[in-house]
Structure 1
Amino acid sequence: MKYYLFIDECGDHGLTKIDFHFPMFLICGILITDNENEKLKSKMSKMKTFFWQDHTPIFHSREIRKCANEYKILLDKKTKLKFYRELNKILERQTYSIIPVGLNKFNYVKKYGNLGNDPYELCLSNVFDLCISYLKKQSHANELIIVLEKRGEKEDNKLASHITKIISKGTFKNSIESFKSFRITFKFNHKKEDLIGLQIADLTAYPIAKYLLNEQALNPAFDIIAIKILQPLKKILIR
């Protein structure tokens, strides 16, 4: 059985300039089977067509929250209510798993300094570990396609090297043999290519990062998706 792992991030992974109000960095993986991915695409496509009859916009968390650009339609309260009701229904009912790994950059620098491991690569390695550990328990899983959002040639090449190293050498928690159990490939795509898995990763990353920043804060979006998170909530954050 073929699985996809769609990867997106929330926050800036740089350690030199840290936003006091939002020091979180999080990698969010959406793990989904090929069949379920097709179902999810169909549901999202119908929803987009309902609200935008003449085109299908790319879902982007920040623009939706700000009611910006194509999402100005959400300034109408009735439309906004219906939009979120339909979106939440899809996110809640469709079959997929969320694998988020994040860190508080202030705490990370305090513990390891500015010369610690690259937060992006560190979080991504942990996402891969959790993903492979899960797939080993799925008797029919035999292929994994990792899809990441393009960030830039230099960044993508550096990340491609890191991913290749993980796949070829394994990790502390999963051996080379564990990775070799699956046909693993990876690719980089623009979000504008309308891959719904990348859009779901984008939509779910922010509420999870917000939860990590303040578990007690009102966070209805997180409440909708929390049940989809693969690992225990207390293990999302790298300490």
Structure 2
Amino acid sequence: MATSDIEENTGQEHGFSDFVVYVDESGDHGLLNIDPNYPVFVLAFCIFYKQHYMAKVVPALQQLKFDYFGHDPVIFHEHEIRKEKGDFRVFKDRAEKQAFMGRLSHLIDESNFILASCVIDKHRLTSREEMSNPYHLALRHCLETLFDLVKEKGQESLETHVIVEKRGAKEDDELELEFRRICDGENKYQRDLPFKIRMAAKASNSAGLQLADLVARPIGRHVLAPNQPNQAFEVLKHKFYCEGGRQAVGNGYDQWGLKHFP
């Protein structure tokens, strides 16, 4: 057996799937003061094959950081990039900013990951269950989609780690409790789901979490205004988990990889 074959199978031998998932959100999950310009909550799962993530995605992101900032501790956040805050005040003019955005868009386009996302329209929530916590509602939908994927790949008996950025002790405890509840059978399949949550600090500088941060808002903007130009979404729509497999990439994702609720 070749060395590469041994490396690729090691994780499965220890009970782990070939996938790792990075999660981020866009918009807040509060329901008292809803932003009229962005009345949605978006949760995005970026699902990577571990081998591709290690070999291609991480080095490409590091290279981009060294090229534009001279170091790699800089953390990519969609809001800071868009508003040119913090490290992203470095661009000397519009042309340099556009060149950077082009490189970043190309990196996302070239990174092979599968998107599972859920957009919650907060104005349309009606029942007590729906209105309890949009984050938890979106989480259930995304975990169910993730299970569809691992089952399709024959890896439903292996453990997949879901990496979520830490927000605060109270919020993290509530999220972990809800995650475990869903995986313990409170899902549409009424069965245990083979997923394990892992909280990571923002300072961990995770490439996967940074990419998840970059994709969430364009998804929300598309759902709010599907007919408006959205270059970022044009790249992302080919990555959603979809009905019909590879033959339907870019078309068959509505209410599959991109769920919107209600």
Separation of aligned partners in 2, 1:47 and 1:167: 37
CA shift, 1:233, in A, is 4.4
The corresponding residue for 1:26 is: 42
Q: Which residues of structure 2 form unaligned runs of 5+?
A: 1-16, 243-251
Query: Which one of 1, 15, 21 corresponds to residue 5 of structure 1?
Result: 21
CA contact (8 A) 1:132 1:174 kept: no
Q: Which residues of structure 1 form unaligned runs of 5+?
A: none
Give the 4+ runs in structure 1 shifted more than 6 A.
none
Query: Which one of 94, 114, 125 corresponds to residue 97 of structure 1?
Result: 114
Bigger RCO (CA 8 Å, 6+ sep): 1
The corresponding residue for 1:78 is: 95
- Alignment of 1:146 onto 2:162: yes
User: CA distance change for structure 1 residues 132 and 140 in 2, over 3 Å: closer, same or farther?
Assistant: closer
- Alignment of 1:234 onto 2:249: no
The corresponding residue for 1:107 is: 124
CA shift, 1:66, in A, is 0.8
Please state whether the residue corresponding to 1:21 is helix, strand or coil. coil
Please state whether the residue corresponding to 1:228 is helix, strand or coil. coil
The corresponding residue for 1:47 is: 64
Fraction of identical pairs, as percent: 24
1:96-135 correspondence runs (5 A): 96-108=113-125, 111-112=126-127, 116-135=131-150
Aligned length: 232
User: CA distance change for structure 1 residues 46 and 115 in 2, over 3 Å: closer, same or farther?
Assistant: closer
Please state whether the residue corresponding to 2:45 is helix, strand or coil. strand
CA shift, 1:147, in A, is 0.5
RMSD: 1.8
User: CA distance change for structure 1 residues 137 and 49 in 2, over 3 Å: closer, same or farther?
Assistant: same
Deviation string 1:138-194 (CA, Å, 9 cap, x unpaired) is: 135733011101111001101111111122225113622xx2xx4x32111112211
